[in-house]
Amino acid sequence: MASPRTLTYSLYTHWDVVESLVPLTRDFPAFDSQQLLSVIARANPALDSAQRDEVLRQMVSSDLLRLLPRGNALELHPLVLEFVRGLTREHDLGLSEVLRARVDAIKDATARLADGVSSNQSDSMRGGAQKLSELFRQISQQLDQDRHAILELAERAKSADANLPLSRRYAEVLEAYDSYVEPMAEMMDSGPSGTFYRHLENAEQALDVAVDTLEVRGALYTHRLAMRQVAFQAKELRRLGREVLKQCSDTLLPLREELRQHNALSAAISHLLGQVRKRGLRRTLRSATLPLWQRDMQRRVTVGNEVLTLMSEALNYVPDTVAFPEEDGGSKEPLFDLVDEGSLLAALRRDAPIDNLLEWLHRQYPQWNDATTLRLYHEIVQQPQWRADQPESPVSQTLNTVRVRLHPHRILASNDPA
C-alpha cells in the first residue's frame, strides 16, 4: 500500500489523466490497460507509446490505479475517486436514507452531549460535541454534493436528444424527485413529522447550554470556543438545508410538472379521440366548445367583366347613321282634297242607281287621295237619305295607290225627293 504522500504526489503528477478517468467511472467500474493507455494518450497527446506505458506503470505503482482481484482490470483508488469527484462536482446524487440516518444520529449525539452536561462529565460533553460536529460536516458535504448532482441531472435531462421518448429523458428527474427531493422535503418539514429542524434545534439548545455550563465552570477557552463553533455549524446547516431543498425543488419541479402536463394532455386527447371514434366528431366536439373566430367578410361589390365590356361599349357608343328618306318635293298631290259635297250629292242623285259606289267615286274624282275617296264612301253609305244594299259576292277595286276588296254598296235611289 502506497503512502498518502506518494498517492497525493502521484495524483498531482497525473491529474489530467485522473480527471479524464473520473467521469468514465460512471460507465466503467474498471478499465483494461488499452482503455487506460488511450485515456493517457488523450490527456497527454505529446507522449509516445513508451512514455504512455511508463505513465500507466507509475500510476499503478503509486496505487492510483489498483489491480482488481481475479483479473487484470484496474480501478481508480476509491479514496482518490471520491476526492476528485468532490473537487470536480461529479458526485452522484446521494441517498436520502443516508441523510436521514445522519440526521437521526444528531439525536443520539445531542443526547450524549446533554448527558455530559447534566452529569458534569467533560469527556462525554466533548465526545458528543465532536460527534455533532462530524455529523454536521458530513451532512453539509452531502447536501452540497447533492445540490450539484441534481443540477447536473436536470441539465442532462434538458439537453438530451429531443427525439428521445420523454419518459426516458426525464426518468432520472422523476426518480430523483421521488426518491430524494420528496423524502428530503418531508424530513425538513417544519411540522411535527419533520426531523431535520427539530433535531438541529435540540442540538443547538444542548450546545448553547454546554457553552454556558463551560463558561460558568470556567473551562478552558479552547474548549468553549470549540463548543461555540459546533453551535455555529448547526446554525449554518439549518440555512444550507433550507437553501438546498429550495434549489433542488426549483430545479426539478418544473421538469416534473412539464412531464405531468404532457401526460395530462396526451391522456385528454386519447380520451377525446376515443369518444370521436365511438360517437363521431360532431357529437363529441360541439363547435361552441371549440375555439371560434369571427370573420367579418368584407363584402366588396365589384363589377364583372361582362358589365365592364358593356360600360366600355357605352362609353364609345357611336350611333348608327340612319339615312332619312329624301324629301319628296316632286309630289304634286295635294295634301288635302277639296270636296264640293253639294255637287257630289247632286251628281250622285243624278246618276243613281249606281252599282258600285266606290268605283263611281273613283271614276268621278280620280284626283282624290284614296283616303278621301274611302272616307266619303263611308260617309255616304251611312247617310240615311240613300237606299242602298250590298251584293253577296265581294269585288276588288283598285284605287290610286291601294286595292280594296269589299262588298260594294249599291245606291239604289235617294230617299230625299228633292
Applying CB under 8 A, which residues contact another protein?
Answer: 162-169, 258, 261-262, 264-273, 275-277, 280-283, 285-296
Strands 74-76 and 395-398: unpaired
Q: Report H helices in 280-322.
A: 281-284, 305-315
DSSP E strands, 170-245: none
* Three-state SS at 209: helix
Which CB, 67 or 264, lies closer to another protein?
Answer: 264
Enter the C-alpha cell of residue 242.
Answer: 433550507
Kindly state the smallest distance separating residue 258's Cβ from another protein, in Å. Answer: 6
342/368 Cα distance (integer angstroms): 16
Kindly state the smallest distance separating residue 249's Cβ from another protein, in Å. Answer: 20
11/20 Cα distance (integer angstroms): 12
Which CB, 295 or 350, lies closer to another protein?
Answer: 295
Enter the C-alpha cell of residue 140.
Answer: 453539509
Kindly state the smallest distance separating residue 190's Cβ from another protein, in Å. Answer: 33
DSSP state of 184: H
139/329 Cα distance (integer angstroms): 138
Kindly state the smallest distance separating residue 289's Cβ from another protein, in Å. Answer: 6
Which CB, 41 or 276, lies closer to another protein?
Answer: 276
Look up cell 495524483; give the residue: 11
Which CB, 11 or 259, lies closer to another protein?
Answer: 259
296/129 Cα distance (integer angstroms): 80
Kindly state the smallest distance separating residue 251's Cβ from another protein, in Å. Answer: 18
Per the document, the length of the chain is 418
Rounded to 5, what percent of the chain is helix, strand, coil?
A: 65, 5, 30
Which CB, 137 or 277, lies closer to another protein?
Answer: 277
154/417 Cα distance (integer angstroms): 145
Which CB, 253 or 311, lies closer to another protein?
Answer: 253
Which amino acid would we find at residue 4? P
Kindly state the smallest distance separating residue 261's Cβ from another protein, in Å. Answer: 6
219/193 Cα distance (integer angstroms): 38
Kindly state the smallest distance separating residue 278's Cβ from another protein, in Å. Answer: 10
